[in-house]
Structure 1
Protein backbone atom coordinates (compact mmCIF):
# COMPACT_ATOMS: atom_id res chain seq x y z
CA UNK A 1 0.00 0.00 0.00
CA UNK A 2 1.48 3.34 -1.07
CA UNK A 3 1.79 6.21 1.40
CA UNK A 4 -0.63 8.97 0.33
CA UNK A 5 1.43 11.66 2.08
CA UNK A 6 4.95 11.98 0.72
CA UNK A 7 7.69 13.81 2.54
CA UNK A 8 9.24 16.90 0.90
CA UNK A 9 12.60 16.27 -0.73
CA UNK A 10 14.01 19.74 0.05
CA UNK A 11 14.01 21.89 3.15
CA UNK A 12 12.84 25.47 2.72
CA UNK A 13 15.63 28.08 2.74
CA UNK A 14 14.97 30.25 5.77
CA UNK A 15 16.77 33.51 6.39
CA UNK A 16 19.44 33.46 9.05
CA UNK A 17 18.42 35.26 12.24
CA UNK A 18 19.87 38.75 12.66
CA UNK A 19 20.24 38.48 16.44
CA UNK A 20 21.84 36.10 18.90
CA UNK A 21 25.00 34.08 18.37
CA UNK A 22 25.27 33.63 14.62
CA UNK A 23 27.74 34.42 11.85
CA UNK A 24 26.15 37.80 11.04
CA UNK A 25 26.32 38.99 14.66
CA UNK A 26 29.91 37.81 15.07
CA UNK A 27 30.97 39.54 11.84
CA UNK A 28 29.26 42.78 12.90
CA UNK A 29 30.84 42.61 16.36
CA UNK A 30 34.29 42.06 14.87
CA UNK A 31 33.91 45.02 12.52
CA UNK A 32 32.72 47.27 15.36
CA UNK A 33 35.73 46.22 17.44
CA UNK A 34 38.12 47.03 14.58
CA UNK A 35 36.55 50.47 14.09
CA UNK A 36 36.76 51.16 17.83
CA UNK A 37 40.40 50.12 17.96
CA UNK A 38 41.34 52.35 15.01
CA UNK A 39 39.44 55.28 16.51
CA UNK A 40 41.27 54.76 19.80
CA UNK A 41 44.60 54.90 17.99
CA UNK A 42 43.55 58.07 16.14
CA UNK A 43 42.46 59.76 19.39
CA UNK A 44 45.74 58.83 21.09
CA UNK A 45 47.75 60.16 18.13
CA UNK A 46 45.82 63.44 17.85
CA UNK A 47 45.71 64.25 21.57
CA UNK A 48 49.14 62.90 22.52
CA UNK A 49 47.57 61.15 25.52
CA UNK A 50 46.81 57.54 26.20
CA UNK A 51 43.25 56.27 26.42
CA UNK A 52 43.16 56.23 30.23
CA UNK A 53 44.44 59.81 30.41
CA UNK A 54 41.96 60.90 27.75
CA UNK A 55 39.11 59.36 29.75
CA UNK A 56 40.39 60.94 33.00
CA UNK A 57 41.12 57.61 34.68
CA UNK A 58 44.88 57.99 35.05
Structure 2
Protein backbone atom coordinates (compact mmCIF):
# COMPACT_ATOMS: atom_id res chain seq x y z
CA UNK A 1 0.00 0.00 0.00
CA UNK A 2 1.45 3.40 -0.92
CA UNK A 3 1.58 6.49 1.27
CA UNK A 4 -1.39 8.16 -0.45
CA UNK A 5 -3.67 5.22 0.31
CA UNK A 6 -2.49 4.92 3.92
CA UNK A 7 -3.13 8.58 4.69
CA UNK A 8 -6.55 8.63 3.02
CA UNK A 9 -5.67 11.31 0.48
CA UNK A 10 -8.58 12.03 -1.85
CA UNK A 11 -7.91 11.84 -5.58
CA UNK A 12 -9.43 13.52 -8.61
CA UNK A 13 -9.83 12.55 -12.26
CA UNK A 14 -8.74 15.17 -14.78
CA UNK A 15 -9.13 15.46 -18.56
CA UNK A 16 -7.26 17.47 -21.16
CA UNK A 17 -8.87 18.07 -24.53
CA UNK A 18 -7.28 18.56 -27.94
CA UNK A 19 -6.94 22.31 -27.33
CA UNK A 20 -5.05 21.91 -24.07
CA UNK A 21 -8.00 22.83 -21.86
CA UNK A 22 -8.08 20.92 -18.57
CA UNK A 23 -11.24 19.83 -16.78
CA UNK A 24 -12.02 18.30 -13.42
CA UNK A 25 -14.22 15.25 -13.97
CA UNK A 26 -14.53 13.84 -10.46
CA UNK A 27 -13.08 14.49 -7.03
CA UNK A 28 -13.11 13.06 -3.52
CA UNK A 29 -12.39 9.51 -4.69
CA UNK A 30 -9.93 7.05 -3.27
CA UNK A 31 -7.11 6.19 -5.64
CA UNK A 32 -8.60 2.88 -6.83
CA UNK A 33 -11.96 4.51 -7.62
CA UNK A 34 -10.26 7.34 -9.48
CA UNK A 35 -8.07 4.97 -11.51
CA UNK A 36 -11.12 2.86 -12.42
CA UNK A 37 -13.07 5.93 -13.55
CA UNK A 38 -10.16 7.22 -15.65
CA UNK A 39 -9.84 3.78 -17.27
CA UNK A 40 -13.57 3.79 -18.03
CA UNK A 41 -13.30 7.16 -19.78
CA UNK A 42 -10.22 6.02 -21.75
CA UNK A 43 -12.05 2.86 -22.86
CA UNK A 44 -14.74 4.98 -24.55
CA UNK A 45 -12.27 5.78 -27.32
CA UNK A 46 -12.20 9.57 -26.99
CA UNK A 47 -8.92 11.18 -27.97
CA UNK A 48 -8.56 13.12 -24.74
CA UNK A 49 -5.95 12.59 -22.06
CA UNK A 50 -7.22 11.37 -18.67
CA UNK A 51 -5.20 11.14 -15.47
CA UNK A 52 -5.52 10.75 -11.71
CA UNK A 53 -3.84 13.03 -9.21
CA UNK A 54 -4.06 13.56 -5.47
CA UNK A 55 -6.20 16.48 -4.43
CA UNK A 56 -4.50 19.38 -2.76
CA UNK A 57 -4.38 18.96 1.00
CA UNK A 58 -6.92 21.09 2.87
CA UNK A 59 -5.67 24.42 4.16
CA UNK A 60 -4.98 24.40 7.90
CA UNK A 61 -7.48 26.32 10.02
CA UNK A 62 -6.26 29.79 10.92
- TM-score, normalized by length of structure 2? 0.28
- Which structure is larger by alpha-carbon Rg, 1 or 2? 1
Q: Comparing both structures, which one devotes a greater share of its residues to strand?
A: 2
- TM-score, normalized by length of structure 1? 0.30
Q: Comparing both structures, which one devotes a greater share of its residues to helix?
A: 1
